[in-house]
Amino acid sequence: MEELRDGFAAFQKTSNQINNWSDAKARNDIRAAHPRFLELLVSLYRFASAEAQNRVLIDSSKLPNLALALQLAEGIDLYILNLVRDPRAVAVSWSKLVKKTEVLRQRARNWNKRVKRMQELEQVADDAFLQLKYEDFANTPRPVLEQIQAWAGLTQDTSFFIASQSAEISWERTHLFPPANEEVLQKQATRIDIRPASSWKSEAHTEVRKMAEEINFPKAAKLGYRKAL
């Protein structure tokens, strides 16, 4: 595990220096530079699959570099679900933890970088890439989950919904660890109500939203977000 951890750190350093992850030569160079790490990564996922005794592993670690590594690794049937959210809402969420303006601005710039990287991954993923807006999921979770199941070739089942935006879930086969949401980990609620967040639109967050608009548009507009609230 220590070798895997150090290997991923080295992989991140190399891949972050590459301008375009969809470039075939660059991808081959990254793969050739980190064969041992990619070998260990495949071993880890195969072990997890065997232990879980299931054919699907959902990795919610969110790192574009890890998605790239899994694309480059051999023997993993990878589907990338790219969940995007309005950058103004993301900035407001960060502002609750980050108080330094420049750090908050860097978080907003990171949103742009992540969008760029995921678009590069999409170019080589063909049908194994699906982009989903958080707002669409929060508004209509059940049909969106049905869409995801169909895209990934999974058994169609949303019977855990007890209403259009409420579901009952089990933690029996779910494993979340930090940096997953601490409140989620603490409560481990079995009744989930899914609603779109709207508090970020309040007047109290006007300056943070303006900052996000300055940094994240027009890139956000290309994803379907409108600048005027």
Band (pLDDT 50/70/90 cuts) for residue 61 is confident
How many Cα atoms sit within 13 Å of 120 on the Cβ side? 22
Q: Calculate mean pLDDT across residues 44-67.
A: 89
Identify the pLDDT of residue 56: 85
pLDDT tens digit sequence for 91-116 = 999 999 999 999 999 999 999 999 99
In angstroms, rounded to a whole number, what is the distance separating the alpha carbons of residues 140 and 142?
A: 6
Tell me: pLDDT of 165 over 90.
yes
Span 171-225, pLDDT tens digits: 887 777 766 677 788 888 999 999 999 999 999 999 999 999 999 999 999 999 9
Cβ(15)–Cβ(72) below 8 Å = no
Burial degree of 54 (CB within 10 A; 0-12, 13-18, 19+): exposed
Distance CA 2, CA 109 (A): 31
The pLDDT value recorded for residue 185 is 82
Task: Determine phi and psi for 83, rounding to 5 degrees.
Answer: -90, 120
Pair of tokens at residue 10: 């080295």
pLDDT at residue 78, as a whole number: 95
Who contacts 80 (Cβ-Cβ below 8 Å, separation ≥6)? 67, 71, 118, 121, 122, 125, 128, 129, 130
Query: Of 22, 15, 79, 76, whose CA–CA distance to 44 is shortest?
Result: 76
CA distances from 84 to 40, 128, 150, 190, 207 (A): 29, 17, 20, 25, 22
What is the rounded CA–CA span in Å between residue 61 and residue 44? 15
Is the preceding peptide bond at 196 cis, omega within 30 degrees of 0?
A: no
Q: What is the pLDDT of residues 124-149, one digit of tens each?
A: 998 999 999 999 999 999 999 999 99
**Tens digits of per-residue pLDDT, 5-48?**
999 999 999 999 999 999 999 999 999 999 999 999 999 999 98
